[in-house]
Structure 1
């Protein structure tokens, strides 16, 4: 998005102002309804808490449920995912991504197909899918914003901005992170921090978050105990950052390959059913595997994971995310990345504490979650803001978080460049030989 002069009157038009307000309202309402649907399905599937927002977490509810109930819930998840996405791909209109809709006003997101796609993501995550729920509210918000833009006849540049802000407002609504969602819009979707984009992104994301309070409450995502920052934690962040970056690069390649080779046609329902049944069997012994990863991440932040359990969760979470994408299911990777980064940090922090016992495991988990998220989704600024906003940690945590993110992003980009050179080497050799 090109920088715009502050004196350009087109950015102060009543139509754009109306689009900004309406986008925040509709995207916030959509995110709120999706969040309420998630909690309702979780309650029905595992029989805990109230049908709305309860005090009992998903992990507590899953742990209290019997092993057979977990398997049955995942079998239903496999059937819903397999049959649902097969029907969408077979009979629905071709899906249009948020980026495609923003870049080309003529490429409209099909309402019925997009809504079915988003609702199916929420339902499967609620039933125990290991993928994230953030993609669905982004899609619904972008869909609403695109329709409003066409109705108000906004020019192409403003259309792109409003669609991106709709996606951000949906994210802000479902996670109650208005600032993090606005930075996501600017850093990831628009690639610009020009003042019109910043002002409108902040406005829509704040409106979306406030609207969602009516149904989801004004709560933080992770309750983190008070922890002090130590010199040892800062030193660990500097040394561990590149490890998180390398691991995140591997995770990106793993999930990208799984999506490229995802099952389609008749294989999709079969693969989904087998995949989720396997996850259900694993969940008999390890219920923390179920869901998008918020439960195990909270355990890491609460200092309740041993090194062995954290290592098992990190490896198995990566594995089930990849197999679920390979089976053809859809969902986000934001919360799974936080869970994997937090679990990996408990392992690395536990080893570090043998030599320098200065910080609790939860402190390492907070820093590691930010470092892994930043590189796995290629959004360093957004990751820093989201982690701080998710947990409301002390401002002093910014020092080790920023240092770890810097090292992580540097290592991840180095790994990506090296992989690109290695991939190009056979082509270069073939050209030289000819």
Structure 2
């Protein structure tokens, strides 16, 4: 027990050594997670290229070849159904599962999730379902890091840093966006700007991006050239775009959950539920192939070609509905890239309406296409900083950061006024309500240390430790204030920006961490 306690308290007692350790481990995570995600991205791109060439070829071969393709799609439904039964935590986006793992609600079988997510995601997205690689990439990076943690026999507090680093590396490798990977880990996954999280996530993200660029080159994901800086006197139009995307983002969230609920209510075997979107992918492949898959090519075409507004409306509605149909089925695949594509279509439509009604200068149409992606992402995910940085890195230009933040914050406020909850938090709640139950409490359970950050205006700020109603069986073992470590006493005051380290029974960590997060963020 003495050695166990020494190991448990080591990260807190030897804080500087621990930060250096997780920095180095972050590099290792970046190499491993980055390699897995780069392989996933490479296979997916090959699959999408193969599908893009195959469908026009099948048209020339007559009805038998087309029927044969539909037979392949139906076979994929059986394969995906089998894989889904083997590992339920590999379904859907993967980001809610990672969030659940980090707060203690979910314990993913890292090896099974890795295998099922990689193969299942390749089959589903490669077949043409309107799903993205980015959510799966985040989960693949996270479970790879968890595997490393289990191999090295790391404690739970250190494992959480490694999982966060792996998720950050996954997004960085998927998008060639290392800064967005770090900010996503801080703003969305942990909601905690901890120096330790920053250090480990940054080292992993940069390493993964280096590996990605070695394979895919140093060019940004979206090939946007000659994007002119929007004049300040045109920023009023950005407010209008932010309002539009905020409303449409709330619509997206509502429709997504209606789609999930509809799939649950339909009394059909699961394999038939999977057949529906795959069969639709086969039909759309011959009549509207632009909306298949993630949609990178569609965004690039929007910035280089002039689509008529009628076609844009058809593409918007088709991509929106097909994304609902695809994601609702529960197959491995995310909404990250599809929602960016829908945002780009929204921006293009908005710009063309301005040009037609107000004779807006058409040389700025591309700006609205790009800005709307960040705004739509923000309205849905509720992560404005991540959205702005992500689009900045994906387009390769920092000249438009002010405009991106302006439209993103407008969309955030509008979606908030419409009471639209962050999509990944809502998906996690839905997952937990459907599949998980709390473990029974055991007085003999092992102990774990968890980190809680104190937000400005929270219930904890300005109070002495003795005056705070802590959850049962919690022991405050340390407070970090900047680079200073404070040994907590009853009279010690808690300040905004503090990081509190709490010792909790492992079987009570879910309930206690939930209560502590509400107290520290002022949500009580």
Do both proteins adopt the same fold according to a TM-score greater than 0.5, normalized to the shorter chain? yes
Write out aligned runs for 1:396-407 (5 A).
Answer: 396-407=399-410
- Residue 11 of structure 1: aligned partner: 18
**In the aligned structure 2, how far is the partner of 1:416 from the partner of 1:32?**
37
- TM-score for the superposition, normalised by structure 1: 0.83
Partner of 1:104: 104
Q: List aligned pairs for 1:34-433, cutoff 5 A.
A: 34-47=40-53, 66=59, 76-80=72-76, 82-92=77-87, 97-104=97-104, 107-228=107-228, 229-231=230-232, 233-262=234-263, 267-354=269-356, 355-360=358-363, 361-393=365-397, 395-416=398-419
- Greater share of residues in helix: 1
Give per-residue Cα distances to partners, 1:64-114, cap 9 Å, x unaligned: 87487788656634532x223321233447559212322339824341244
Counterparts of 2:183 and 2:214 in 1: how far apart (Å)? 24
**Bigger fraction of residues in strand:** 2
TM superposition shift of 1:315: 1.1
Aligned position for 1:59: none
Once the two structures are TM-superposed, the CA of residue 188 in structure 1 deviates from its matched residue by 0.6
Mapped to 2, the partners of 1:94 and 1:151 lie a distance apart of 21
User: Do the aligned partners of 1:46 and 1:65 also contact (CA within 8 Å) in 2?
Assistant: no
The CA deviation string for residues 2-29 of structure 1, in whole angstroms up to 9 with x for no partner, is: xx99993353353x34421211110011
CA contact (8 A) 1:301 1:342 kept: no
1:31 Cα deviation (Å)?
0.8
CA deviation digits over 1:158-179, x for unaligned, max 9? 3222101101101211221111
Q: Identify unmatched segments of 5+ residues in structure 2.
A: 1-10, 422-524
Deviation at 1:300, TM superposition (A): 1.9
User: 95-104 or 126-135, which moves further after superposition?
Assistant: 95-104
How far did 1:246 drift?
A: 0.9
Contact 2:141 2:166 (8 Å CA) reproduced: yes
**SS across alignment from 1:396:** coil
Higher relative contact order (CA 8 A, sep 6+): 1
> Is the contact between residue 105 and residue 159 of structure 1 (CA under 8 Å) also seen in structure 2?
no
Using the alignment, how far apart are the partners of 1:238 and 1:71 within structure 2? 49
Say if 1:142 and 1:163, in contact at 8 Å, map to a contact too: yes
Q: Which has the larger radius of gyration?
A: 2
Q: How many residue pairs are counted as aligned between the two chains?
A: 399
Alignment TM-score, normalising by the size of structure 2: 0.70
Match of 2:480 in 1: none
Whole-Å separation in 1 of the counterparts to 2:214 and 2:386:
26
Offset at 1:215? Answer: 2.9
